[in-house]
A and B are shown apart, each in its own frame.
Chain A
Amino acid sequence: MTTPVNTALEVLEKQLNRPLIAALEVCARCGICAETCHYYMAEPTTEHVPAARGEALRRVYRSEHDFLSRIFPRWTGAERLNEATLAKLAEMAFSQCTLCRRCTFNCPMGVDTPLMMRAVRAMATAAGVAPEVLVMLADAAIEKGKDPSFFREMFVEMMADVEKELQARVGDPEAHITVQRAGAKVLYVPLAGVHTILPPAIIFHAAKEDWTLSVFEAANYGLFLGDVSRAKQIAARIINEAKELGVQEVVLAECGHAYAALRWEAPNWFGETFPFRVVSLVEKIDQYIAEGRLQLDPSANPELITYHDSCNMARSGGVIEEPRRVLQAAVQNFVEMTPNRHEAYCCGGGGGLVALPEYTERRLKAGQPKAEQIRRTGAKIVVAACENCRLQIGELSGHYGLGVEVMALADVVVKAMRLPETQAEGEVLPLSQDVAVPTAGD
């Protein structure tokens, strides 16, 4: 009879590739990783030491795969998996680790704790003990992706309104937003909400880009679940769309995990190199500036502005200098957080935590180091190239009384383009105003 425990162990067995085995075997339990974790910084308990998290899975691994542990489990701390330990493992992997990889960079051995936590998430998902919200969001995206025609119709209608906004903002009645136009060079994949469509549309128009809009959203909840099967199905919608349209490049909205999923993971899930490039909007804007296709006036952004490195974009994605070059061109007063780049603190909202209301208190507490870091800069505006980071930092601002405004990089760039503030017929939508757009997979 298949039990959740057996299912979880079967998944662990399938996950055991060479990097995971190395991560499980190499830890010397020196504990030097402790203060590198934002959970530990906010609440210095042993369970928040990254090595302790890895050890939780190692105990199970040893009981299954280690000769000495089978004979003397207490000697090596081995422990057979049962339903109680599976539930504890799942709770830990989904609520006490944002997969930020900060501990990995700080480990002399290079222990990839997020790799282990992703394995636990996969085990928990298969065993049916993953957070329901994430499973529902992933499954809804897959379901809607099966027949996007209904959403496409609604989406196209809504885009007609957004197009009017675009024309008003750029003062050009010939500015267009096309949806799934075959032959376009660039396919832009937004997130749910017009705030991830209008500013990029303004930028694409200014850069004279040959672009079209995807009906899907870039988010991939399968990644958070550690479930490659679901993640593949969600990613396949965009990949197939890009292939059918024959685009040369897929530009992803400012979203850390979407970038990690489609840029770095998806080619391995599908075992192929795609016939198009995958870049982040951040990289695209940087390219436009380098090519002289965007004229920016930094004096339009005179406030003290700081930048938050999303873990998926920077530490795990290599998009580190691009946003800084963009900000250098678009703002007058920029201040770095300390530490920054690949040493930056996680905001605490990653790994799907922002979508899990049951862990709100824990998430806000874990965001304390980031909140203090922001406070120390004295900045009035925090720019982040990730939707989940922006949501988390916005909440941190309220919770810790930071009083900062949180903006996307595209918002800052559009502000530096000095567009007219109003149109003849009436008010123009503020760029930060979130109007829900029913992308297929939302």
Chain B
Amino acid sequence: MSLLLVTQILALLGLLFAVGAFALRWRAAQQRPFAPDRAPAKGSPRHGVLYAFTLGMAPWAKESTRRHMLAYLRGIGFHIGIFSGLTALLISPWWEVLPMPLRWLFAALTGLGALFGLIGEIMRRVEHHLRLLSTPDDHFSVLLVTVFLAATSAALLSDIWQPIMYLAGAVMFIYAPLGKIRHCIYFFFSRRFFGLLIGRRAVVHAEVTR
């Protein structure tokens, strides 16, 4: 059995573990109460959710992101890299038939994601408040994802990096539901709850329609 095949199997097992563990977490969360809001709505909850996932995420939509525009864009770039890297990993058995420009695009986005991840980790160590707020889990999670992205980007350019990519992917998948990486799943719930609240209460309607 080749090293490549072994790491591919490990990555697949890691992915299955992640999917299973996230499913269990999702089920546990669903068992928690979420009572319907009985206060008569002033605005549209749907409108609020739409805002929360679109305009509300724009860099100019929030004072915090206007103030920390570069840091926010770095974070966005990091997460675009993650989506790119995960997609590249999932379609890796078909890389051979992928047009080269598309492969380079994946490599560039994923590589930039790795760079942004590294910058993020440096910021976490350098900036006073971030350093105090961070746990070892935070540092490890960012570094783990960064290594995965770097390996994936390299593998897209040269096949010899593929075992490293699969191995990093396996470790990342196994760690994801256990550590800080799992926040990615809760993002969708959190933004939805936020959207429901501001939509029902018509807080952003004036902002959107002004």
Contacts and interface: CB of A to CB of B under 8 A. Distances in A.
Contact of B32 (A21, A35, A68): A21
A320 B206 contact: yes
Nearest to A269: B38
B11 to A, nearest CB: 21
A108 B65 contact: yes
Contacts of A21: 29, 32, 186
Interface stretch (A80-88, A117-125, A310-318, A350-358): A310-318
A18 B194 contact: no
Contacts of B35: 17, 268, 271
Interface in B4-59: 29-30, 32-35, 37-40, 42-43, 52, 57
B94 interface: no
| Chain A interface size, under 10 / 10 to 19 / 20 to 34 / 35 or more | 35 or more
Contact of B39 (A17, A19, A265): A265
A318 B203 contact: yes
Nearest to B132: A46
B135 A110 contact: no
Contacts of B201: 264, 316-318
B193 A32 contact: no
A75 interface: yes
Contacts of A68: 137, 178-179
A295 to B, nearest CB: 26
A29 B130 contact: yes
Contact of B129 (A16, A28, A46, A277): A46
Contacts of B65: 32, 106, 108
Interface string A42-65: 000010010110010000000000
B80 interface: no
Contacts, number: 160
B193 A22 contact: yes
Nearest to A107: B64
Interface string A242-273: 00000000000000000000011111101111
A192 B184 CA distance: 47
Contacts of A104: 194
Contacts of A263: 39
Q: DSSP class of B's interface residues: helix, strand, loop or mixed?
A: helix
Given A51-B133, A271-B38, A18 B189 contact: yes
A19 B67 CA distance: 27
A110 B190 contact: yes
Given A105-B62, A267-B39, A320-B203, A110 B191 contact: yes
| Chain B interface size, under 10 / 10 to 19 / 20 to 34 / 35 or more | 35 or more
B42 A318 contact: yes
A75 B135 contact: yes
Interface in A286-329: 314-318, 320-321
B129 A31 contact: yes
Contact of B179 (A76, A111, A315, A342): A76
B203 A342 contact: yes
Nearest to B40: A273
A31 B135 contact: no
Contacts of B132: 46, 52
Contacts of B34: 17-19
Contacts of A134: none
Interface core residue of B52, B71, B129, B204 (most chain A CB under 10 Å): B129
A29 B133 contact: yes
A401 interface: no
Contacts of A25: 182-183, 186
A91 interface: no
Interface string A70-110: 00001111000000000000000000000000001111111
Given A31-B130, A110-B191, 11 more contacts: A22-B29, A26-B186, A46-B133, A75-B135, A76-B180, A106-B64, A266-B39, A268-B35, A268-B37, A272-B38, A314-B203
20 contacts: A18-B29, A18-B33, A19-B34, A22-B29, A26-B186, A29-B135, A30-B71, A30-B130, A31-B130, A32-B65, A67-B178, A75-B137, A110-B190, A110-B195, A112-B194, A264-B39, A272-B38, A315-B203, A316-B203, A320-B203
Top 4 closest pairs, chain A to chain B, by CB: A110-B194, A106-B64, A267-B38, A77-B135
